Structure 1
């Protein structure tokens, strides 16, 4: 994990916090599902009883997980999802979008590009990432904020999942 000091960014002030240097990987998420028996939303929708990922993709970011799945993993790991402001403050130094090595329509192993000034990898150019925040767009489904990736993230339904959305976690000290 990487320490992000207290400060202010475009979305307001934040207290200092720890954040994962990389998005959560398939291998890390697999440990969670094995230990807990958790079956992500996408698996349940597909009628599967066990979560799997492509062979050889241990160190790729986990994707196709819903916000609910990400929160469940974070709780298991003793962490949380970052707020939109925390994510923005941690990412503020990521000026370049390094998409090198990603397969068309796919991902690449985490930490294969250069880190930002804080030491975070894959802030931009990788997967979009869930945050703890939501935007009341209207309608019956709450929409959660996703950030990063190769473009600005649009809010997504809580139970929604996509092959380009993953997450990283934070630990707050206060």
Structure 2
């Protein structure tokens, strides 16, 4: 018998994928530090280290992703609703062609931080398994939960997770 050992982040992804496949919400695991991130934006750079103390929704997306078109208006709403409470959306574009991302953003503007990783190093560190993939990171820089895809019928649950983390005390 062969035993396959998965990293904790891969375990989280595998458990979440299984949960989604059988119709359960994304799973929360024991807190694990989010991998470091420092990426270019249109206004400079964004770093998770600089965002410590905030609740961060880190979203990986691409211009060709249909569910991403549905998630952007919701992320705009969440940023507007909770931004003054210490919530920050950071959407990492993975398109190799920056014109494709620009066209998407012309059609569906983002009122939150958009970072760019055409080389795909960040999704590799997060072991992203589908588009879009979102990671909810607590004020201490730990991954609280993740979800793959965007499901309109789960928006309430996603928002409840955000509210819960915003109301939690920082350690």
TM-score (norm 1): 0.28
More strand by share: 2
